[in-house]
Amino acid sequence: MTLRLGVLISGRGSNLQAILDATASQTLDADVRLVISNRADAQGLERAARAGVSACVLEHGAFATRSEFDAELAARLLAAGVDWVVLAGFMRVLGQAFLSAFPDRVINVHPSLLPAFPGMRAQAQAVEYGARVTGCTVHLVDAGTDTGPIIVQRCIQIAPMESVESVEARLLHEEHTALVRALQLISAGQLSIETSSAGRRRVVVQ
């Protein structure tokens, strides 16, 4: 099934680029219908323009409340015919008003092996902690911060004395692979959600 994607960005947009490249090479059956950035200076906007994909800026500061911003974001994506939303380096937390417009159809890529190191600067958190292994996670977004059901994870070893910058660069590459893989699984209809005996919602891959 061709996924009709909306991609939300705040900056560089390398994860957006991975999606655009995978669709162009037909590795991924998806159509990026709309890119929205909450920052006018996001480099990802140029990537969208180069790929001939519709993009717009919606600055959160222009809205009186978080829920008004969320509602406008959801309205624009729905108007563009989007059925799955990818948070690709989008640096705003989305509330229930947004999530209920796309129930279990919003995914995020996070640069750690969740549930370890949620939140900001996850790569630096792992290095500062002295972790020997870290990675990235693509997960469904729920109302918590980096808490939703896991779809794909990839891991790397952290070398002794390795810098945060080096870990970030190596992880970014893994993020691109994991994000495209998660979208391929979604497109192929291979994911379902179950509730474990302990009451945790989790993704099952067929």
Residues 6+ apart with CB under 8 A from 183: 3, 5, 19, 22, 28, 30, 84, 86, 107
Contact 136, 110 (CB under 8 A): yes
Q: Does 12 bind ligand GRF (CB under 6 A)?
A: yes
What Rg, from alpha-carbon coordinates, does the chain have? 17
Q: Does 114 bind ligand GRF (CB under 6 A)?
A: no
Is 176 labeled as catalytic in the residue annotation? no
- Measure the CA–CA gap between 14 and 155, rounded to whole angstroms: 19
String of DSSP letters for 120-154: SSHHHHHHHHT-SEEEEEEEE--SSSS-SPEEEEE
Looking at the Cβ atoms of 1 and 169, the one nearer to ligand GRF is: 169
Looking at the Cβ atoms of 14 and 166, the one nearer to ligand GRF is: 14
Exactly one of 3, 6, 13, 38 binds ligand GRF (CB under 6 A); that residue is 13
Site for ligand GRF in 45-84 (CB under 6 A): none
Exactly one of 33, 69, 89, 127 binds ligand GRF (CB under 6 A); that residue is 89
Min dist CB 194 to ligand GRF, Å, is 26
CB-based closest residue to ligand GRF: 89
Tokens matching residue 44? 């990802």
Contact 139, 149 (CB under 8 A): yes
Exactly one of 33, 39, 110, 139 binds ligand GRF (CB under 6 A); that residue is 110
Residues that bind ligand GRF (CB under 6 A): 9, 11-15, 88-89, 109-111, 172, 175
